[in-house]
Each structure stands twice: as structure tokens, then as C-alpha cells.
Amino acid sequence: MDILTALGFRASGRNALPVYKEICVLTIFFLVLTLIIHMYRITDFMIFCIYVMSFDLLYGYLGLLSFGHVLYLGVGVYISVLFSIYINSNPLLSLLAGTLGGGIIAAILGLIVVKLDGASFALVNLAFSQIGYFLVSSTFQKLTHGTDGISSRVDAWGFLNFSNEYITFSFILISMLLVFYLLRKLTSSPFGVLIRSIKENETRVTFLGYNTFLYKWITFFIAGTIASFAGGIYTLYVQYVSPTVLNPLDNIDPILAVLIGGAGNLYGAIAGGLLFMIMKDWLSSHFAVWQWVLGIILLIISFWFRHGFTGFVMAIRNYQRKKAVIYDQNGAQG
Amino acid sequence: MVESIVYGFTLGAILYLFSIGLSLTFGTMKIINFAHAMAYTLGVYFFITFLRLFPGAFCISTFLAVLCMIPVAYIVERLIIRRLYGESLDYAIIATYAVLLIGTDFIKFVWGNVPQQVSDPVGLSISIFNFIIPVYRLIIIAVAVILFVGLNILLRTTIIGKIVIAALEDAEGVRCLGVNVSKHFSIVFIFGTLLAVLGGILYAPISAADPYMWLNILLIAFAVVILGGMGNLNGTFVSAFVLGITMAITGRFWSQAADTIVFVIMALVLIFRRRVA
């Protein structure tokens, strides 16, 4: 199969659900959520959800655990901020610049890291994210103002005025739904089946004649690009950046979010992103030292709840369905 | 320049002490152990506490701190690592990282966030050809070399060592011979942790202790282990010293790039080497 047909957005037959329904549900869900939590926080959560979805493509679908995904988020933020200051203050162009810049870096580094498996993959990514942190905080200090951080200079473009809370919210909601739509199509296409097969057994996929390196590289590239897209949106929303966005210790955030939600499921990524952010907000505003709670949750998940929140929901649903079937059979007999 | 090279050897010695545990754990149990970094930091904090109790008694405090870490290492091995044998690598990474998070917060909670200084216990310097070299650094290098030789002798001559070498090759095969592998893994794990604690304590007078002191050395030690070959003990020794010297020499000319050069070397090696780990 050549790449184009593999990437072609063909739904894989009977398993495909109507995507428009899912998008409607998500839209309504997030709009209702604004009634409970302040819109400002929800906007933040949605950016994080985009980021978590990109990580889910890499970890949940392809099965590569990266300990350095924060690099692509940070690169997206930095490139779009610098673009808006030095080249053009159009918000969409700086978003595009951040996305492309992060994508190019993911494409180059992907050539190195995708060759690795398991442990080395995780660690080399961690090392690259450390290099990124070092570069922005000291090497390019003149450009990035080091640890002081810089403010972006994004102007309004048409009605897209990012100092307006409602417009920002709608723009980011639409972006998130767009990413969801694209990833939904991608993961239910033959390409998605292929990368899931690589997760299950790469050797067999190689024996079937596929160049697994290429598909892993493409997935890595897409995941990096979407993470940078999240970074670019973050710039539009926060309009300020400091090296803390690239803090290597934050690499655990998307991993934890994906695990909470359930890996290999886009709903899981969104649910996990939301739950993680709500938990983090609550804990960090109530306790000075709070990361140990994350540690305990991670331990519980890695020992007993490996399918996360969505796995839990599905188990309940299956249980109810089984009960219904038994009830029907009993009814038929009686 | 001679000072830089001696400093590089010192750094290499510390890196070796830290990496050997990581390499052994990966080689035998196939687990990437982030909890190693927790033990390293916690050991240093124990040491500082003992040093306050017995001022000036560097050796006694070191001994007590290393002793205190034995139960900690055993608990981590028993409760976390042992549950993850043969499981997917991802969950092992995540669970040991969780231990690291909990340990770091424990340290922050008990000892606070402020970096703690330890003074040089020897305080003497000797001058060789007009270069002034602190004796303490030479002692660190000597300790690492002695431990390297001792470890090799132990592994070659004792029955435990032979089982460990065999398990590095094929843990499943050793299990089939009727050897209680997990008991030996447990010993290896505790031993590796204690070496890391010793490395941390020896390094404390050169640097300072803070709750995130593990981050830098952990990243560099991963590079050491990847370059030396995971589970390859002699390879770990060589790559630790090579990277230590490279860092010291780079640091002399461009101090900020000292850490980054390690990852650049790692990336270059990974590009040109086909098979890793």
C-alpha cells in the first residue's frame, strides 16, 4: 500500500461511527461545562486536551511512550511568539508558523528517535526535551530573554480578537473539535489500523511487507505537529512565554492524563485531559506540596486501572449489556 | 586543562556509581528504574542529617546513610519493582516515576526546598606541576575504580555474581535452571541503589543538595547507559568516564553547554549505530 491510500481518509467500514454526532456531543458537553467551571479555565483545559490527544496518537495508538512530548508544545509556543514579534503579528500566521516549525523539528528528530524502541525511545525524547529547555533558557537568551520570558505581539485580525474571552473560547473550541475530527478520521482509516497493528506486533507488520519505520515516523510527525499546534494556540491565549513551558518535569502531564482517561481512545484523551487539569487546579490551590498525589494515582493506575476512565465506563456498559442479555434470555424462556 | 581532566574523571566516577545500578536493573529485570534517582537524593538528605548529628564524621555519616537506604531500597523493590517483572516496559517506567514523585515531595516536605551545602571533608589540595588539585576529587576517582575492580571480582568469583552475569544474558534460562532469580534480582537492586547513594554522598560536597538534584544526573546517566549498552557493565564504566571528561572539557570552554554536549553525543551515536539496547 502506498502512503497516500494509507493516509486517505477512508472510514474502515462498519466500525465507523457518525463523526458529526460525536462532535455535536462534544460541543454541547463543553458548552455545558462552562456553566460549572469558569470559561477562562475551560479554554485552558481545551488546549491541554489538544495536546493530550496528540500524545494519545503516539502512545495510545502507536504504543511509543515518549518522555519528552513537552518539547513540541514548547517549540510551538516559542516559534509562534517569536514569529509574532519579529515577522508578522497576524494571529493565524503565527499559529501556522508555530505548527509548521514544531512539525519540522518533529520530522527531523523523528528520524533519530523512531528507530528506537521502548526504553531508549522514552529516554532519548526526555534528553531532547532537556536540550530544548537548555536552548531557550540559555543559548538563545538574547532572543528569548531567558528565564524572564517574553510577551507575544499578536494583533486582532478581522473579528479574531484574542483579547475577547468569548471569541478566544469559540476559536479554541473549534480548533479542538477540528483536531478531534482529523484524529478520529485518521485513526479509523487503514493507516490507523496499521499503526495499531504496529503497537500489537511490529515484527509481524514488517513481515507483511510494510515499512514500519515510515509509518512510525509519520505518526511521530503528526503527533509533534498537533502538539505544536496546541502550543501555537496557547500563545494566542496567554500571549506570554517563559522556559517553564519546556520544563522537562512536565513531561509526565500528558502521560498521566492519557492514562487517567484510558490510552488508545480519543474520548479517553479528552476525559483524561479534563480530569487531570481539574485535579491539578484543585490540588495546587489547596496544597503547597501536591505532586505526591499524582504519584499515588499513577501507581494505582499502573497496577490496577490500566484501561483508565474510558475502560471503566466501557466495563460498566458491557456489564449492563450482559445483564440485559441474560434478562432477555430469561424472559424468552419464561 | 589538567584541572578539567581531573574534574572530568571525578564526574565520570560519580556517573559510574550512579549508572551501574540503572544498568544492572535494566540488564537483569528489563526495567527502567526512575526510583533510582529518588534513592540517590534521599540518601544524600539522610547523609546531611547524620552529618548534623555527628559534625565532622564524614565516613560514619556516609555509612549510616547507606545503611538507612537498605530498607528503603528493599521496600521499593518488594512493593513496586517485583510486581512489574515481565510486564510491559511502559508501566514499569510510569510506576517508578511515581515513586520518584512521591519521594521528591517527601524530601520537600521534610527538609524543605532550600539547597543545602556540604563542605569538603578533606579540604587539602596537592599541586602537581603547578596545577592545584583537591585531594577529595582524587579520592572519589579512587573509590570508583576500586569499586569497579571489586565489582568485577565479585561478579566473577561469587555464586551470586555468576548468577547475575548469567541473568544479564538470559534471565529466563537461569530461572529454568531452578535458581530463585527474584531473590538475586532483589540483591542486585539493593546493591545498585546503595552504589548510587554512595555516589550522591561523594558528589554532595562538590555540588549542593536540593530536592531536584536527581534530574540532571539522571538524564546524563541514561545517556551513559544507552551509550555503554544497557546491562553491559564494562561499557558503562568506559562511557561514564568518557562522558565525564567530555563534559568537563566542554564546560571549560562553554560552561552552559556541558550538559547538552552529552545528549548531542548520544544523538550522534544513535544515528550511526543501528542496534541499541
Per-residue pLDDT averaged across A275-297, rounded?
87
What local confidence, expressed as pLDDT, does residue B116 receive?
Answer: 84
Asked if pLDDT for residue B73 goes beyond 80, the answer is: yes
What local confidence, expressed as pLDDT, does residue B275 receive?
Answer: 57
A207: left (phi over 0), alpha (psi -120 to 50) or beta: alpha
What local confidence, expressed as pLDDT, does residue B193 receive?
Answer: 92
Q: Tell me whether residues B219 and A130 touch, CB distance under 8 A.
A: yes
- Please indicate, yes or no, if residue B111 is contained in any of the structural domains: yes
Q: Tell me whether residues B271 and A112 touch, CB distance under 8 A.
A: yes
Identify the CATH number of the domain in which residue B30 sits. Answer: 1.10.3470
B270 → closest Cβ in A116, A118, A138: A116
What local confidence, expressed as pLDDT, does residue A7 receive?
Answer: 43
What local confidence, expressed as pLDDT, does residue A17 receive?
Answer: 58
Name every chain B residue with its beta carbon within 8 A of the beta carbon of A127.
219, 222-223, 262-263, 266-267
How many Å lie between the alpha carbon of A177 and the closest alpha carbon of chain B? 29
B185 touches chain A (CB under 8 A): no
How many Å lie between the alpha carbon of A135 and the closest alpha carbon of chain B? 9
Asked if pLDDT for residue A13 goes beyond 50, the answer is: no
Q: Tell me whether residues B98 and A122 touch, CB distance under 8 A.
A: no
A319 touches chain B (CB under 8 A): no
What local confidence, expressed as pLDDT, does residue A219 receive?
Answer: 94
Per-residue pLDDT averaged across B128-139, rounded?
81
The rounded percent of chain B whose pLDDT value lies above 70 is 99
- Please indicate, yes or no, if residue B259 is contained in any of the structural domains: yes
Q: Which domain holds residue B40?
A: 2-272
How many Å lie between the alpha carbon of B226 and the closest alpha carbon of chain A? 7
pTM for the whole structure = 0.85
Chain segment A145-156, per-residue pLDDT in tens: 878 888 887 777
Max mean pLDDT range (A210-224, A309-323, B228-242): A210-224
CA dist A10 and A16 (Å) reads: 10
Q: φ and ψ at A115, to 5 degrees?
A: -65, -25
Q: CB within 8 A of B275, min separation 6: which ones? A: none
How many Å lie between the alpha carbon of B267 and the closest alpha carbon of chain A? 7
B247 touches chain A (CB under 8 A): no
A33 touches chain B (CB under 8 A): no
- Please indicate, yes or no, if residue B132 is contained in any of the structural domains: yes
The rounded percent of chain A whose pLDDT value lies above 90 is 33
What local confidence, expressed as pLDDT, does residue A72 receive?
Answer: 94
Mark which residues 204-223 of A lie under 8 Å from B by CB.
none
- What is the pLDDT of chain A when averaged over all its residues? 85
A182 touches chain B (CB under 8 A): no
What local confidence, expressed as pLDDT, does residue A330 receive?
Answer: 58
Chain segment B207-263, per-residue pLDDT in tens: 888 888 888 888 899 889 888 887 788 889 999 999 999 999 998 888 777 888 888
What local confidence, expressed as pLDDT, does residue A53 receive?
Answer: 94
Chains A–B, number of C-beta pairs less than 8 Å apart: 114
- Please indicate, yes or no, if residue B179 is contained in any of the structural domains: yes
Asked if pLDDT for residue A205 goes beyond 70, the answer is: yes
| Helix, strand, coil percent values for chain B (each to nearest 5) | 75, 5, 20
Query: What residue of B is the nearest CA neighbor of A253?
Result: B94
Check residues A58 and B207 and name the one with the higher pLDDT: A58
A116 → closest Cβ in B108, B222, B276: B276
What local confidence, expressed as pLDDT, does residue A331 receive?
Answer: 52
A119 → closest Cβ in B26, B80, B102: B26
Per-residue pLDDT averaged across A217-246, rounded?
91
A127 touches chain B (CB under 8 A): yes
Q: Tell me whether residues B256 and A139 touch, CB distance under 8 A.
A: yes
Q: Tell me whether residues A120 and B277 touch, CB distance under 8 A.
A: yes
Chain segment B264-275, per-residue pLDDT in tens: 888 788 777 755
Chain segment B169-205, per-residue pLDDT in tens: 887 888 888 888 888 888 889 999 999 999 999 998 8
What local confidence, expressed as pLDDT, does residue A270 receive?
Answer: 92
Per-residue pLDDT averaged across A43-48, rounded?
92
- Please indicate, yes or no, if residue B103 is contained in any of the structural domains: yes
Name every chain A residue with its beta carbon within 8 A of the beta carbon of B223.
127
- Please indicate, yes or no, if residue B277 is contained in any of the structural domains: no
Which of B47, B42, B41 lies closest to B64 in space, CA to CA?
B47
Are β-strands A240-241 and B125-128 bridged in parallel, bridged antiparallel, or unpaired?
A: unpaired
Query: What residue of A is the nearest CA neighbor of B230?
Result: A120
How many Å lie between the alpha carbon of B135 and the closest alpha carbon of chain A? 32
Name every chain A residue with its beta carbon within 8 A of the beta carbon of B276.
115-116, 120
H/E stretch holding A70: helix A70-86
Asked if pLDDT for residue A325 goes beyond 80, the answer is: no
Per-residue pLDDT averaged across A290-317, rounded?
83
Asked if pLDDT for residue A26 goes beyond 90, the answer is: no
Largest CA distance in chain B: 60
Asked if pLDDT for residue A70 goes beyond 80, the answer is: yes
Asked if pLDDT for residue A231 goes beyond 50, the answer is: yes
Per-residue pLDDT averaged across A27-45, rounded?
88
CA dist A301 and A297 (Å) reads: 6
Asked if pLDDT for residue A99 goes beyond 80, the answer is: yes
Domain spans of chain A, in order of start: 3-303
How many Å lie between the alpha carbon of A3 and the closest alpha carbon of chain B? 24
Asked if pLDDT for residue A228 goes beyond 90, the answer is: yes
Q: CB within 8 A of A50, min separation 6: which ones? A: A175, A176, A179, A226, A229, A230, A233
Q: Tell me whether residues A289 and B95 touch, CB distance under 8 A.
A: no
B100 touches chain A (CB under 8 A): yes
What local confidence, expressed as pLDDT, does residue A6 receive?
Answer: 45
Number of domains in chain B: 1
Give the DSSP letter string of B106-120: HHHHHH-SS-B----
- Please indicate, yes or no, if residue B31 is contained in any of the structural domains: yes
CA dist A253 and A224 (Å) reads: 16
Asked if pLDDT for residue A328 goes beyond 90, the answer is: no
